[in-house]
């Protein structure tokens, strides 16, 4: 059965002649790679595969596309498989790495990271969740983060000649824009990813580790300042206080007109223009402003890491694939093709020609990720941060609600024993 499957993959890929065979009759080793749907285009994967197999004569790629729905259980099952027939390389969400590293099921790639892959230049929000103590398990591949998408025509009509660079400028500009029936900014009340950036910018955290125990940290003065800025900004529009950015989808709200700004990944602009073609050529992008003009604000940075299961049949071959995908050549090509941020700060200049990607890259240089613990998934499953935000925006005491939410986070982060 496996031989028939490999033969079918070879025929459909049509990337090498005499599929699976080297001159002299020697069979190539197959490296099975799981990548997520829509992370890379089919054309990118064809070009990468052809180049990799040309430069690695003894290896061939079997790339299998996975759906995000149900992927956690599927990856966990694969990591338990000791038969040698499972995936050799897996793409995972950057914040998912702690889930999979728990229990020693991932290969330690610290040596390769330091020696070959330029670990010191990685985006922190991709690198940190992939690390446990001093061991590096997740290798940064690409990033995406929120920027401000704005209506250039509404800015011009309000007399705003350039995007704001500080929080106070942002508030002042948004107040100008919030007039004449227009919303200065559409910001849903439960957009906790955006809140996280404001909290981090103030020096706070969602949770902190103390004596090997994670505790909710929304009640610190720094975190409360982040929430207060969110409250002030959110008031300059009509975003619902009891819903997140997907209820209703903010692309549709923006496309409906009379909204000057939203906070979203740049790719959402395509959906906006599809829904309202009149906005073509009227959308701009800028990084989420920081407390000062010295640098943009801190943002939650999502994206993907690549991991190698500890049970792979050939770790050397698996790391060869990882090294090629995360290297400057193909990582930059992926970023340009898919409008991502490359995995290294030193590669940001290579995507400066695309306004939305350049704005993302500026923010990603100071990006953060959620707390690096396997239990964080339990927090997000019934997210107390959302309820906290709604209560504060509805007039409840911020300090009291922060203590309530922090206690719930602490409870969820307690590991099962």
DSSP 300-339: BEEEEEEE-BTT-S-HHHHHHHHHHHHSHHHHHHHHHHHT
Task: Give the Å distances, CA to CA, from 39 to 94, 238, 263.
Answer: 13, 33, 22
pTM across the whole model: 0.81
**H runs (alpha helix) in 351-396:** 355-364, 376-381, 384-393
Of 59-63, 280-284, 300-304, 319-323, give the lowest mean pLDDT range: 300-304
- Helical residues (DSSP H) of 161-249, grouped into ranges: 167-177, 192-201, 221-234
pLDDT at 26 over 60: no
- Would strands 89-93 and 29-36 be described as parallel, antiparallel, or unpaired? parallel
- Give the residue, 334 or 22, on which the prediction is more confident: 334
- Average the pLDDT over 373-396 and give the result: 94
Q: Is the dihedral of CA 131, 134, 140, 146 positive or negative?
A: positive
Q: What are phi and psi of 71, to 5 degrees?
A: -70, -30
For range 10-31, the mean pLDDT = 52
- Please report, for residues 103, 175, 220, 258, 311, the alpha-carbon distance to residue 374 in angstroms, rounded to integers and kept in the order given: 11, 41, 23, 42, 21
- Return the structure tokens found at 126: 């991709």
Asked if residues 376 and 97 have their Cβ atoms less than 8 Å apart, the reply is: no
Whether residue 308 contacts residue 152, with contact meaning beta carbons closer than 8 Å, is answered with no
Cis peptide bond N-terminal to 248, omega within 30? yes
Greatest mean pLDDT among 7-21, 241-255, 363-377: 241-255
Given a cut of 60, is residue 18 above it in pLDDT?
A: no
Sorting pLDDT into bands at 50, 70 and 90, what band is 337? confident
pLDDT in tens, 347-378: 988 877 789 988 998 999 889 999 988 899 88
Residue 61 has pLDDT above 80, yes or no: yes
Kindly provide the residue ranges of all beta strands, DSSP E only, lying in 58-167, ordered along the sequence: 59-66, 89-93, 131-132, 135-136, 139-145, 147-151
Q: How far, in Å, are 74, 384, 391 from residue 207 at the CA level? A: 28, 12, 19
Q: Is the pLDDT of residue 402 over 90?
A: yes
The answer to whether 290 touches 148, Cβ cutoff 8 Å, is: no
Q: Indicate if the pLDDT at residue 1 is higher than 70.
A: no
Query: Tokens for 6?
Result: 């490999």
Classify 163 in phi/psi space as left (phi over 0), alpha (psi -120 to 50) or beta.
Answer: beta
pLDDT in tens, 201-247: 999 999 999 888 999 999 999 999 999 999 999 999 999 999 999 99
């Amino acid at each position: 059965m496996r031989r028939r499957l490999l033969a079918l993959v070879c025929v459909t890929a049509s990337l090498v002649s005499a599929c699976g065979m080297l001159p002299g009759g020697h069979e190539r080793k197959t490296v099975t790679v799981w990548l997520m749907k829509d992370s890379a285009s089919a054309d990118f994967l064809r070009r990468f595969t052809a180049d990799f197999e040309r430069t690695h004569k003894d290896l061939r790629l079997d790339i299998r596309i996975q759906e995000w729905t149900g992927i956690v259980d599927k990856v966990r099952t694969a990591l338990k498989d000791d038969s040698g027939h499972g995936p050799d390389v897996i793409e995972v969400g950057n914040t998912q790495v702690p889930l999979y590293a728990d229990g020693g099921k991932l290969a330690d790639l610290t040596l390769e990271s330091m020696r070959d892959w330029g670990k010191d230049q990685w985006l922190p929000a991709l690198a940190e969740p992939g690390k446990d103590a001093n061991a590096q398990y997740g290798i940064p591949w690409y990033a995406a983060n929120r920027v401000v998408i704005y209506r250039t025509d509404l800015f011009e009509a309000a007399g705003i000649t350039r995007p704001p660079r500080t929080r106070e400028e942002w508030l002042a500009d948004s107040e100008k824009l919030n007039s004449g029936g227009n919303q200065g900014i559409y910001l849903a009340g439960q957009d906790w990813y955006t809140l996280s950036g404001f909290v981090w910018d103030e020096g706070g955290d969602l949770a902190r580790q103390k004596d090997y125990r994670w505790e909710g940290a929304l009640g610190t003065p720094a975190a409360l300042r982040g929430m207060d800025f969110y409250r002030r900004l959110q008031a300059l529009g009509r975003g619902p206080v009891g819903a997140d950015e997907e209820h209703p989808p903010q692309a549709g709200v923006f496309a409906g007109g009379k909204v000057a700004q939203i906070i979203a990944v740049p790719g959402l602009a395509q959906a906006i223009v599809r829904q309202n073609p009149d906005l073509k050529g009227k959308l701009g992008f800028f990084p989420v402003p920081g407390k000062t003009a010295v640098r943009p604000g801190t943002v939650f940075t999502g994206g993907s890491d690549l991991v190698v299961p500890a049970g792979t049949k050939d770790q050397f071959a698996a790391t060869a694939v990882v090294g090629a995908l995360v290297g400057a050549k193909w990582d930059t090509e992926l970023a340009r093709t898919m409008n991502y941020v490359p995995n290294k700060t030193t590669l940001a200049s290579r995507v400066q020609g695309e306004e939305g990607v350049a704005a993302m890259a500026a923010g990603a240089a100071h990006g953060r990720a959620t707390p690096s613990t396997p239990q964080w998934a339990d927090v997000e499953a019934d997210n107390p941060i959302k309820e906290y935000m709604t209560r504060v925006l509805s007039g409840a005491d911020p300090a009291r609600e922060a203590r309530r939410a922090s206690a719930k986070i602490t409870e969820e982060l307690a590991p099962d024993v």
